[in-house]
Amino acid sequence: MKQKYQSLVHQTIPVSKAIGWDIESLDIHYIKAHIKLAPNINIHGTGFAGSIYAAAMATGWTLLKCWYEENHYSAELVAAEANIQYLAPVTEDFYCLATLDKSEPQYRKLQERLSQPKSCGYQLPVKVECNEKVCAILTIQFVFKCA
């Protein structure tokens, strides 16, 4: 599964390759991506805010894409809005992590709506970690669009 989605993302979102984004671990409810610092530095030699965001967005999108495809739902997945908080500088290669929490009301609602099928929103947090410290949190408002 990891290799399938790694190839899909690298082939369809070329920026994911340019920023050195790779999947380290993936199942339908969890993703951990590894990102190289070198292509993503800013003027301070730390992670560029734009690269950190792009890496986290690719990570969140990949998890939801994997989840709905492996569940055989049919939808188009887009980001409607997002908020990112930068908490500490990224000083080394870093990780982006996201989990689909099955206990959340929005998870059950999403399953119900996609089964009909009807469009549905989903808010996903993605953590950015470097050296075991949370450096940023991206919260993405996704929309699953059904025809």
CB of 92 to a second copy, least distance (A): 17
Closest by Cα among 124, 121, 127 to 139: 124
Of the candidate spans 13-21, 24-32, 109-117, 123-131, the one that interacts with a second copy by CB under 8 A turns out to be: 13-21
What is the spatial distance between Cα 42 and Cα 125, in angstroms, rounded to a whole number?
Answer: 24
Size of the residue set binding a second copy (CB under 8 A): 34
Residue with tokens 């000083």: 91
CB atoms within 10 A of CB 111: 13
Of residues 75 through 134, those in contact with a second copy by CB under 8 A are: 76, 78-86
Interface pattern 33-52 for a second copy (x via CB under 8 A): ------xxxxxx---xxxx-
Cβ atoms of 17 and 8 closer than 8 Å: no
67 counts as binding a second copy under rule CB under 8 A: no
Cβ atoms of 96 and 32 closer than 8 Å: yes
Cβ atoms of 48 and 42 closer than 8 Å: yes
In a 13 Å sphere around the CA of 78, the CA atoms on its Cβ side amount to 5
64 counts as binding a second copy under rule CB under 8 A: no
Q: Which of 55, 100, 110, 124 binds a second copy (CB under 8 A)?
A: 55
For a second copy, the closer CB: 55 or 98 = 55
For a second copy, the closer CB: 28 or 143 = 143
Q: Which residues lie near a second copy (CB under 8 A)? A: 8, 12-15, 18-19, 39-44, 48-51, 53-58, 61, 76, 78-86
